[in-house]
Structure 1
Amino acid sequence: MRPAPSVARHARIAIAIFALLVASPLAPGAGEIANGAFTPAEIQKIIEGIQTLRGLKFRNKVALKYLTPAQVVRQIRADADHQNKAEIELDNKIGAMVGLFPAGTDIQSADIGMLRGQIAGLYDFRKKQMIIVERHGAQGVKLSESKRREATDVIAHELTHALQDQNFGIGAALEKAKEDDDRALALGAVAEGDATLSGFAYIAGRMDDEVLETFLKNIPAMEKEFAKRAGGVPLGIRAPFIFQYMDGARFVAAAYRRNGWAGVNALYKHPPESSEQILNPRAYFEHPAPPPRVRVAGYETGLKEWKKANEGTFGEVLLRVIIEANLGEHSPRAALAKAWDGDRVVVLKKSGAITLLWVIAFVSEASAANFAQVCEDALERLHGAKIAHRVERDSRAVLVIIGDAAKRSNDLVAQIWKKTTLSGAPLPN
């Protein structure tokens, strides 16, 4: 099966290949590291220190590579070119159809524009090497204490990704998880939250309850700085990106609070499977259960001339982003996402036409009814008569059809309701 509609993948800059850190928002302005600012001995000291802090060992030597910002951008574009262009185009169309970003948005350019001038370091999971972004023409420049602290944070953060990869196979896990946007976001949040906390603790020189509380108190300021630096980038691209760092940091902090670094390491053996679990750590730690799974069916006969091109789960975070992208950031209606109880979107193609079948389950009929009205109004504003669309509700579930299939008879809707299931049980239940 091909990857799911990877709107989250765009926001991550293909996180299965790169895990990167925007210069630390705790001390803005560190976009790059001066050429030669860190000697090999100083890098080795950080390598040894992060191993001691995390209680993990590198199984292989971490290869270091120094690139300018322009070279990093070229490498990101080159890796993006390895993806199937038809799949990327399909992803772009899906995002535009649900209103995540304006139609015609150049996703790759928006991604890179958000990061250009801000990237300070990254770990390449595919090539197993750490890249430090340096500023040429500044050989021998002495960094100020605050700039050196920021740069050290970047290096410690990216070395943590290398530890994750060598000890837990996080690179392969992220690659596999990209078949489901929601699962991929959840795993990405673990990886980025862990690296963010580890980098902070390394700078602090220790890890204990006091450091943890200081870290948590700083997260709101970090969120504001992230949002500021990503200003002008469509919400559907930047919000999932920020989620992985900030909400991921809170989630990993909750794991550390329960059982120290052993609790963090345990996340990789039994990772969260949904963004809902990241947003609600107690749901993961105290009431562990697989997230609700929607299986969309019943359309096969009525749309037999259409072929399935893709399918996936948006999850609570992307549902919230979709609502805000259509109604405005911080819209009170975004709270409807908290009533998410599972969803699945199926993408069908016929020649050059695309149809989306999206079923979302909510925890109550009232929430489903509210979302159905919000969605219907948003789609009317978004597409009008240009693209056919239809929103139906049955009990606590909502069916959204966008594309030519929305013109079909009520029999199609009836069959979808009849055959679609939530965690194996009929809908509605």
Structure 2
Amino acid sequence: MSDQQPLPPFDPLTAPPEIGGVVPPVPGSPPAVPAGEGGGGGPRWLLLGFAVLLWGVVAGGAVLGWLALREEAPAYPDAWDDRVVAIAAFVEDERGLDFEHPVYVDFLPEDEFREKVTTSKEELTDDDRKEIEQATSLLRALGLVEGDLDLFEEQNQLSGDATLAFYDPDTKRVTVRGTELTPSVESTLAHELTHALQDQHFDLETVSEEAGEDRTLVYRALVEGDAMNVQQAFNQSELTRTERQEVERKDQEAGDRAYSDREPALVAFMAAPYAIGPTFVSLVEADGGRRALDRLYREGLPHEVALLDPTRLEDEPREVELPSVPDGAEMIDDGEFGAFGWFVVLAARLDAQAALAAIDGWGGDSYVSYDDGGRVCVEARYRGTNRKVTEAMEGLLDEWAASMPSGAASVGSSGDVVELRSCDPGGDSTAEPNDVVEALQYPVGRLVTARQLLDQYGGQFDLDQVWCVSKRMFDELTIEQLNSTTPDPEVIREVQNLTLSCLRGG
């Protein structure tokens, strides 16, 4: 039974949503990644929507030595390691599920752990090298990087420095970086043991397989967001203020080491499940309770667009026919970009606010990538939820193509579909992209704002209403205006008016 008093009626004229500092920081050096669920702390974070085409080699486990993690058959200890008993009990209580059995927790010295999650170029096959070259070309064709890029080294650096621990659903073991039980390790264990608990109740490999390539980001956001929320609860409940500060400091130091001078687009792909996941998960729980969260594991994941707009949990994409591959060209991959993929591509060249507004109208897409006489190209089709949205997207893609090196990209339309073709401009290109990590502030910020509104006025607003307020705030105001500690009176009035409009169904 709760002692909480009923919330007062909401009056948007006297209590509009707070607009000072509402946007959570998504800095150029995000905190270190607390987990690597799904087979090591390696590069599966890149397998997000259209990014599957960039790292097909990774999906086979060829690049970062994942096969070494598959040598042991699953086995379980009779009892928990004494060092993790209390943490496992907390995870059970916080998540509302019981462990079916303990799991092994392996504490590895730094050098042994790093060996687990990285590899050397000497281990690459000729096919691996070809696929890495193709991935690099595709990144340039999509305007996400420019010039020469050692993609293998970028990936190795991120995997080696950013990963603090991982749970492997094959071996059913947790592997931790370090041998001392520091507050940072305790915090990380709360996260990893949540993955073990998820696996025992929902079978993570099955959830991942059923998600398929088109919903990989949703799968990652679900499992990581769920684990991060448990980890955050552990930090607040079980660590002292001084210990929490130590955890934050060490996480930031690890993030600085991993992400310093790394390509922003690659960092954005890595950060996305951890930036979006916790609030997405909490919104699902706030709207439908813990059972709604568990149903996502058991009954199927929503489409990627739901991560950017939680009111679209039930939406399915419209079918979009694949573009054709030119005669004589070698097919590399095909599939779906996904809403988040389009956002990153647009935000790398255009205003992030405009990019997100365009993606809010995402209705479906398809792409093919191919090698045409030694030049790697990608062709993609985008269909909006209506013709007006598709036409607006065509205008944005015209701007995007104009920002690329001359002759690299072109845009057209056919019926209710807009078409983009873009080819690798080569290693001499100098079309430097925007910092797409900073662009994540927009999709993450409006999710957080919606969650804050539900927390503040729970029971009085439903998800559709708070999402209307949050979405319009981020459509009509800049990050600077939203984060101002002394908001302009005109901005306050604008928030009041849009809040009233949303509550009235406008």
Choose which of 274, 290, 297 in structure 2 pairs with 1:268.
Answer: 297
List aligned pairs for 1:121-270, cutoff 5 A.
121-134=165-178, 143=182, 148=183, 150-174=184-208, 177=211, 179-180=213-214, 183-205=215-237, 230=259, 232-270=261-299
Please name the residue that 2:363 is paired with: 341
Q: How many residues align?
A: 344
Instruction: State the 1:226 CA deviation.
Output: 7.2
Is 1:293 aligned with 2:337?
no
Asked if 2 retains the 8 angstrom alpha-carbon contact of 1:6 and 1:178, the reply is no
Asked if 2 retains the 8 angstrom alpha-carbon contact of 1:226 and 1:242, the reply is no
Opposite residue 97 of structure 2, the aligned amino acid is L
Change (3 A) 1:43 1:15: farther
Cα RMSD for the two superposed structures: 3.8
Instruction: State the 1:257 CA deviation.
Output: 1.8
Opposite residue 173 of structure 1, the aligned amino acid is V
Asked if 2 retains the 8 angstrom alpha-carbon contact of 1:368 and 1:395, the reply is no
| Structure with greater strand percent | 1
Instruction: State the 1:362 CA deviation.
Output: 1.8
1:256-295 C-alpha deviation (Å, 9 max, x unpaired): 22444333211102333422112222221xxx23233322
Instruction: State the 1:119 CA deviation.
Output: 3.2
Distance in 1 (alpha carbons) for counterparts of 2:231 and 2:60: 21
Please name the residue that 2:418 is paired with: 398
1:237-256 C-alpha deviation (Å, 9 max, x unpaired): 12232221121111110222
Distance in 2 (alpha carbons) for counterparts of 1:79 and 1:125: 25
Is 1:58 aligned with 2:99?
yes
Asked if 2 retains the 8 angstrom alpha-carbon contact of 1:345 and 1:358, the reply is yes
Structure 1 length-normalised TM? 0.68
Is 1:319 aligned with 2:342?
yes
Choose which of 261, 282, 306 in structure 1 pairs with 2:329.
Answer: 306
Asked if 1 retains the 8 angstrom alpha-carbon contact of 2:413 and 2:419, the reply is yes
1:24-45 C-alpha deviation (Å, 9 max, x unpaired): xxxxxxxxxxxxxxx9313122
Q: How many percent identity over aligned positions?
A: 20
Instruction: State the 1:197 CA deviation.
Output: 1.0
Please name the residue that 1:414 is paired with: none
List aligned pairs for 1:83-98, cutoff 5 A.
85=128, 86-98=130-142
Asked if 1 retains the 8 angstrom alpha-carbon contact of 2:165 and 2:177, the reply is yes
- Farther-moved stretch of structure 1 (184-193 vs 244-253): 244-253
1:345-371 C-alpha deviation (Å, 9 max, x unpaired): 112335534332210112344443343
Distance in 1 (alpha carbons) for counterparts of 2:209 and 2:394: 34
Change (3 A) 1:78 1:61: farther
Instruction: State the 1:396 CA deviation.
Output: 4.2
Q: Which structure 1 residue ranges, 5 or more long, are not aligned?
A: 18-38, 207-221, 405-429
Distance in 1 (alpha carbons) for counterparts of 2:118 and 2:209: 18
1 or 2 for the larger relative contact order (CA 8 Å, sep ≥6)?
Answer: 2
Asked if 2 retains the 8 angstrom alpha-carbon contact of 1:100 and 1:325, the reply is yes
> What secondary structure does 2:231 align onto?
helix
Instruction: State the 1:229 CA deviation.
Output: 7.4
Change (3 A) 1:50 1:75: same
Structure 2 length-normalised TM? 0.59
1:56-97 C-alpha deviation (Å, 9 max, x unpaired): 333454122222344333322249968961444333322221
1:4-28 C-alpha deviation (Å, 9 max, x unpaired): 98626979x96998xxxxxxxxxxx
Distance in 2 (alpha carbons) for counterparts of 1:200 and 1:5: 27
> What secondary structure does 2:219 align onto?
helix
Please name the residue that 1:47 is paired with: 88
